Amino acid sequence: MKIFSKTDHSSGMKKLAIGVDIGGTNTSFGAVDQSGKVYFTGSFPTTGHPSFEAYASTIARTVLETVRRIDDAEIAGIGIGAPNAVRETGRIEQAANLAWKGSLPIAELIRKYTGIDNVRLDNDAKAATVGEMLYGGGRGIDNFAVITLGTGIGSGFVVNGRLVTGHDGQAGELGHSTVVPGGRTCGCGRKGCLETYTSAVGIKRTAFEVLSDTLPAEAALSPLSAIAYNDMTSKMISDAARQGDPVALRIFEQTGEMLGRSLANLTTVLSPEVIFLFGGLARAGELILDPTRRSMERNMLENFKRDMPRLALSAIDGDNAAILGASALVWQAVG
Amino acid sequence: MKIFSKTDHSSGMKKLAIGVDIGGTNTSFGAVDQSGKVYFTGSFPTTGHPSFEAYASTIARTVLETVRRIDDAEIAGIGIGAPNAVRETGRIEQAANLAWKGSLPIAELIRKYTGIDNVRLDNDAKAATVGEMLYGGGRGIDNFAVITLGTGIGSGFVVNGRLVTGHDGQAGELGHSTVVPGGRTCGCGRKGCLETYTSAVGIKRTAFEVLSDTLPAEAALSPLSAIAYNDMTSKMISDAARQGDPVALRIFEQTGEMLGRSLANLTTVLSPEVIFLFGGLARAGELILDPTRRSMERNMLENFKRDMPRLALSAIDGDNAAILGASALVWQAVG
């Protein structure tokens, strides 16, 4: 286990929220104050525990042990971000990338093993959105969206200053809105979902589509033509684009076209002030922002052009983003 | 001018909101109490006034004269529903179907001519949504949508119990979300907008597409084959469908396919508990509800199928719907 500890003696009793991010490979955690200052972070493997109860007990024990090392800390609560987490029930439901199947009562177990009542759960994209709202670029903005471009696409929306949960806690699945009717096959069993085009995996699929559509002599000049499907990452595509590779630039152009279309549609519903991009593919910066902005403008209803939503990168520290988001769930609940 | 007056002596001082609906042809108005009971309604032509100021003064005078006839009435405010109305500025902007162009300061003029300060303005679809929230099927429901299927498509969304306005008051333009990339030409200058497929005019366009796609011998058997483009209405199509005309049923099937697709996408963003249909085409009842529901289910992400948004007709009295919606803007503001 890695624990990076930083204590702060400048103030008296520190109110801290514990953020726990449950990933398929690692579980990260950290303590964060109300301003978004991170006091420590740590992580341990999500796999290799004899049971889900044992895993939950490890989270609880590790968190409590670590907190004890901080002077004058008062724990306001524990926020947990996890894939397929449902805020209302405190459960993780059928998560594809965890070893445990079915319906997992994570919030209840963490309450039991820590003795801390204020345990909040939401899926990782909604946690990131609350993080953006409390610590990031969303501060003071009543209507905004966060789109996470990772392996899949997550999304979270803030309307009138509050997170959109929908009637069942399941709002925010923009990645599975249809952007091309009858388009690419999606892992969800449907076709043409935004996620199949503009996630970190989606852009790789676009790379192979663009290569297939390019004259072989030209395609062969691209560094991407030397990389097998299984080896290609979105970072390789952005590296090639940064070197001016025309194939890679075309891949970003097409990716931006799809994302911009979808964000123009989103704007007809919510008219957000800002749309924040987040996650692996967002690290490409202007390479993805620029074609997406141009596509948004092309596809945008005239009414919205005067005061178009601003497209920006998330203002949350990328390395600790998941922990920050999870911890923010606590402040949202007590604030 | 028609005035239908009903006075109620059963209670003491009645608190009433005046609802004014500005249409291209007629301006309707009425007084409504907080429960949605209508005390009177009247209407006069929107056209033929020497100036916009004169028109606004006519609204003010007519409303005040009528209110004076109700015993013990206290006016809580005036709510105005109009096309292209912007809540934040109190103005109607570039309304295509009004004689006056540019930016019309309707709220300010009505305040000036009536002496009543509490004047609220919003576009007709948002007014209908607030009406649904306060008087209709949306009572007690925190997350729902209203889609009006009229000449165009209007939409309004309620999230966490509050109307979605977006950062600039322009949220709720689902009619101009793209449902078929590169599809039918829309009046907004773009292509494939939902409005071109599933408004009362959109279904007429679908009628001609279906006729064009049907074997001529079969098409000739449909009563719709005897009607010219300029004469066809959505009511003729629903009348034919009610008689079992296979062409008309196919038209509704295609219309429901498009609307269901769009509502499945909307659900990924907002996950509403209920989606209410409203307006001319909604009068077709199950003819439009049934194929739309089936398409929603076909196009819906698996997660949402367990607790799919209910698709229902608006519970607002159709004849007074516009007045009810406009009046509701007042209660929303004072409530």
In a mutational test of the B interface, the residue from A89, A147, A167 whose CB has the highest number of chain B CBs within 10 Å is A167
What's the rounded Cα separation, in Å, for the pair A144 and A232?
Answer: 32
State which H helix or E strand residue A297 sits in: helix A286-299
pLDDT at A65 exceeding the cut of 80? yes
Quote the pLDDT of residue A11.
53
Q: Do A303 and B170 touch (CB under 8 A)?
A: yes
Q: Phi then psi for B14, rounded to 5 degrees? A: -90, 130
Tokens describing residue A267: 């704007």
Secondary structure letter of residue B41 according to DSSP: E
Residues 6+ apart with CB under 8 A from B72: B11, B12, B13, B14
Residue numbers in A near B189 (CB within 8 A): 302
Q: Do B168 and A307 touch (CB under 8 A)?
A: yes
Q: Which of A164, A188, A303 lies closest to B270 in CB terms?
A: A164
Alpha helix ranges (H) inside chain B? 52-68, 106-114, 124-135, 195-198, 200-213, 216-219, 234-242, 246-270, 286-299, 302-305, 321-334
pLDDT at A5 exceeding the cut of 50? no
B310 to chain A: nearest residue by CA? A167
A181 to chain B: nearest residue by CA? B180
Residue numbers in B near A141 (CB within 8 A): 167
Residue numbers in A near B191 (CB within 8 A): none
Quote the pLDDT of residue A312.
97
List the one residue out of B299, B260, B47 whose CA is nearest residue A188: B299
pLDDT confidence tier of residue A334, bands split at 50, 70 and 90: low
Residues 6+ apart with CB under 8 A from A81: A19, A20, A21, A22, A121, A122, A123, A124, A126, A127, A128, A322, A325, A326, A329
List the one residue out of B174, B102, B167, B176 whose CA is nearest residue A307: B167
What's the rounded Cα separation, in Å, for the pair B135 and B129?
Answer: 10
CA A53 to chain centre: 26
The partner residues of B28 in beta bridges, in order of sequence, read B21, B43
The partner residues of A30 in beta bridges, in order of sequence, read A19, A41
Q: Do B307 and A159 touch (CB under 8 A)?
A: no
Residues 6+ apart with CB under 8 A from B174: A268, A269, B147, B153, B155, B194, B262, B266
Residues 6+ apart with CB under 8 A from A199: A149, A150, A151, A152, A153, A175, A281
pLDDT confidence tier of residue A12, bands split at 50, 70 and 90: low
Quote the pLDDT of residue B12.
66
B121-148 confidence digits (pLDDT tens): 999 899 999 999 999 999 999 999 999 9
Secondary structure letter of residue B101 according to DSSP: -
Q: Do B272 and A167 touch (CB under 8 A)?
A: yes
In a mutational test of the B interface, the residue from A123, A170, A276, A299 whose CB has the highest number of chain B CBs within 10 Å is A170
- CB contacts under 8 A, A 252-311 vs B, are 261, 264-273, 299, 301-304, 307, 309
Quote the pLDDT of residue A141.
97
What mean pLDDT is reported for chain A? 92
Q: Which of B159, B188, B190 lies closest to A164 in CB terms?
A: B159
A177-190 confidence digits (pLDDT tens): 999 999 999 999 99
State which H helix or E strand residue A19 sits in: strand A14-22
Quote the pLDDT of residue B71.
79
State which H helix or E strand residue A253 sits in: helix A246-270
Using CB atoms within 10 Å of the CB of residue A82, give its burial: 0 to 12 exposed, 13 to 18 middle, 19+ buried: buried
Q: Do A265 and B261 touch (CB under 8 A)?
A: no
Q: Do B299 and A261 touch (CB under 8 A)?
A: no
Contact (Cβ atoms closer than 8 angstroms) between residue A322 and residue A129? no
Q: Which of B167, B177, B261 lies closest to A271 in CB terms?
A: B167
In a mutational test of the A interface, the residue from B93, B165, B301 whose CB has the highest number of chain A CBs within 10 Å is B301
What's the rounded Cα separation, in Å, for the pair A308 and A297?
Answer: 8
The answer, for B188 touching chain A at a CB cutoff of 8 Å, is: yes
Q: Which of B176, B271, B299 lies closest to A171 in CB terms?
A: B271
What's the rounded Cα separation, in Å, for the pair B104 and B120?
Answer: 14
B166 to chain A: nearest residue by CA? A271
The complex scores an ipTM of: 0.88
Q: What is the mean pLDDT of residues A224-240?
A: 97
A105-137 confidence digits (pLDDT tens): 999 999 999 999 999 999 989 999 999 999 999
Q: Do A272 and B177 touch (CB under 8 A)?
A: no
The partner residues of A163 in beta bridges, in order of sequence, read A158
B142 to chain A: nearest residue by CA? A167
Angle between helices A321-334 and A124-135 (to 10 degrees): 70
Range A234-241 contact pairs with CB under 8 angstroms and sequence separation of 24 or more = A234/A200, A234/A201, A234/A203, A234/A204, A234/A280, A234/A281, A234/A284, A235/A280, A235/A283, A237/A203, A237/A204, A237/A207, A238/A283, A238/A284, A238/A287, A238/A288, A241/A284, A241/A287
Quote the pLDDT of residue B151.
86
Q: What is the mean pLDDT of residues A33-45?
A: 93
Å between B63 CA and nearest CA of chain A: 32
Å between B189 CA and nearest CA of chain A: 8
Tokens describing residue B23: 């249409």
Q: Do A268 and B302 touch (CB under 8 A)?
A: no
Q: Do B269 and A162 touch (CB under 8 A)?
A: no
Q: Do B178 and A303 touch (CB under 8 A)?
A: no
Query: How would you classify the pairing of strands A26-32 and A38-45?
Result: antiparallel
Quote the pLDDT of residue A267.
98
* Domains parsed from chain A with CATH numbers: 2-131+319-334 (3.30.420.40), 140-313 (3.30.420.40)
Residue pairs between chains A and B whose CB atoms are closer than 8 Å? 146
Q: Which of B171, B299, B309 lies closest to A269 in CB terms?
A: B171
A270-294 confidence digits (pLDDT tens): 999 999 999 889 999 999 999 999 9
Percent of chain A with pLDDT over 70: 96
The answer, for B68 touching chain A at a CB cutoff of 8 Å, is: no
Q: Which of B169, B301, B307 lies closest to A176 in CB terms?
A: B301
Å between B169 CA and nearest CA of chain A: 8
Å between A193 CA and nearest CA of chain B: 10
Quote the pLDDT of residue B9.
47
Amino acid making up residue B292: T
List the one residue out of B131, B89, B158 whose CA is nearest residue B315: B131
Q: Which of B164, B271, B302 lies closest to A166 in CB terms?
A: B271
User: Three-state DSSP class for B65?
Assistant: helix
pLDDT at A222 exceeding the cut of 50? yes
List the one residue out of A266, A238, A253 whose CA is nearest residue A179: A266
Regions of chain B short of the pLDDT cut 70 = 1-12, 334-335
- CB contacts under 8 A, A 150-179 vs B, are 155, 157, 159-160, 162, 164-179
What's the rounded Cα separation, in Å, for the pair A18 and A81?
Answer: 11
Distances from the Cα of B190 to the Cαs of A254, A302, B175, in angstroms?
19, 9, 12
Residue numbers in A near B147 (CB within 8 A): none
